[in-house]
Amino acid sequence: MAVAQFWGTGRRKNAIARVRLVPGTGRVLINGRPFEEYFPLRTLQTMVMAPLNSVDLQGRFDVLVRVEGGGVSGQAGAVRHGIARALLAVDSNFRIPLKQRGFLKRDSRMKERRKYGLKKARKAPQFSKR
């Protein structure tokens, strides 16, 4: 007999997370590692677990994540987005609390491209009058 699995894809900056929720004991594995090890900062850990906490499902699902691209912060945002989308597959009634907290919205802010003549996107070289 197949176990119910719920999938969600999350994106943030250049990071993409494929999230799978499986009924279980609440362990969270990111790229095969415990998520406390993958995201050592407490702020990122609370950010990742926020969707599960908002619908009171912590400890009821195992969260299995494959995440790639971007940096640590972008990956944490992508995982949070993916968990929220997977929770919608669990129960569509979760849409209201998840949407109110902004977990379903894809944060579309990206790094601005570098322009020629500048050091970064907006930082100009030091001006010299003489």
CATH code of the domain containing 90: 3.30.230.10
Coil/strand/helix, residue 43: helix
Domain span at residue 95 reads: 6-100
pTM of the complete model beyond 0.85: yes
Task: Establish if 119 belongs to a structural domain.
Answer: no
- Report yes or no: 18 and 85 within 8 Å, Cβ to Cβ: no
Task: Flag whether 129 is in a domain.
Answer: no
Write the single-letter amino acid at 82.
Answer: G
Residue 106 lies in a domain: no
One DSSP character per residue, 80-99 reads HHHHHHHHHHH-GGGHHHHH
Q: Could you give the number of structural domains in the chain? A: 1
Q: What is the CB neighbour count within 10 angstroms for residue 115? A: 12
> Residue 126 falls within a domain, yes or no?
no
Is-contact 74 14, C-beta < 8 A?
yes
Q: Can you give the pLDDT of all 130 residues of the chain as single tens digits?
A: 567 899 999 999 999 999 999 998 989 999 999 989 999 999 999 999 999 999 988 888 999 999 999 999 999 999 999 999 999 999 899 999 999 999 999 999 999 999 999 999 999 999 999 8
- What pLDDT, on the 0 to 100 scale, is given for residue 49? 93
